[in-house]
Amino acid sequence: MTLNAKQSILLIVDLQERLLPAIDGGQAIINQTAWLIGVARELGVPVIATEQYPLGLGSSAPQIADLLLPGELVEKTHFSAVAEGNLLSHPHGNRLQWVVCGTESHVCVQQTVLDLLAAGRQVAVVEEAVGSRKPGDTALALQRMRQHGADIVSREMVAFEWLGKANTPEFRTVLKDFIR
């Protein structure tokens, strides 16, 4: 699968302020995700973010929440963001390709990815933008998601596939603002 901006959606799973201090590399995951949001915005790729039981885990980290637009946040109580039905029924939920980042890799991210795959979606998980409390759980989750058909990608792979070609105004902007 090659990612196409017109068919893709960026899904941010549970980057919540009370959970992030316990996540291995939590700040780096926030930074990578903010970068992905910026590229998605530049290329017109819709964004959805989830929050797992915000009453207990708090709201999305401010660095992410500040980048979200109205209607892009979905609250959930199931670990899988697909389980409650509101993700795929979202106005952009019918997109074929889902680029996924967030926490925790081995819980909410993995269950969401497996359910997206079962629902016939193509899924790319951004390796440097997912995490868990223990690095070993992240590694196992990435391995399992790959075994079930998810592509494991880097953020630059996503950006260049969404761009598709050079010598466009979008390419020049993304190159200048995001590719260093």
Judged against a pLDDT cut of 80, whether residue 66 lies above it is answered with yes
CB neighbours of residue 19 within 10 Å: 19
Judged against a pLDDT cut of 80, whether residue 180 lies above it is answered with no
- Confirm if 166 and 129 have CB atoms less than 8 A apart: no
- The domains found in the chain, sorted by start residue, are 8-177 (3.40.50.850)
* Closest to 41 in 3D by CA, of 86, 13, 5: 5
Provide the pLDDT for residue 69: 95
| Catalytic residue selected from 101, 108, 115, 151 | 108
Judged against a pLDDT cut of 80, whether residue 132 lies above it is answered with yes
- Confirm if 36 and 126 have CB atoms less than 8 A apart: yes
φ, ψ of residue 165 to 5 degrees: the values are -155, 160
Q: What is the mean pLDDT of residues 61-82?
A: 95
| Catalytic residue selected from 14, 101, 115, 151 | 14
Query: 128 pLDDT band (50/70/90 cuts)?
Result: very high
Locate the DSSP E strands across 44-91: 47-52, 73-76
* Closest to 107 in 3D by CA, of 135, 79, 142, 147: 79
User: Residue 133: CB partners within 8 Å, gap ≥ 6?
Assistant: 22, 23, 24, 104
pLDDT digits (tens, 9 = 90+) for 164-177: 999 999 999 998 99
66 as an active site residue: the answer is no
Cα 40 off chain centre by: 11
pTM above 0.75, yes or no: yes
Inter-helix orientation angle 169-177/155-163, to 10°: 160
76 as an active site residue: the answer is yes
Q: What is the mean pLDDT of residues 73-86?
A: 91
Residues comprising the chain, all counted: 180
pLDDT digits (tens, 9 = 90+) for 133-144: 999 999 999 999
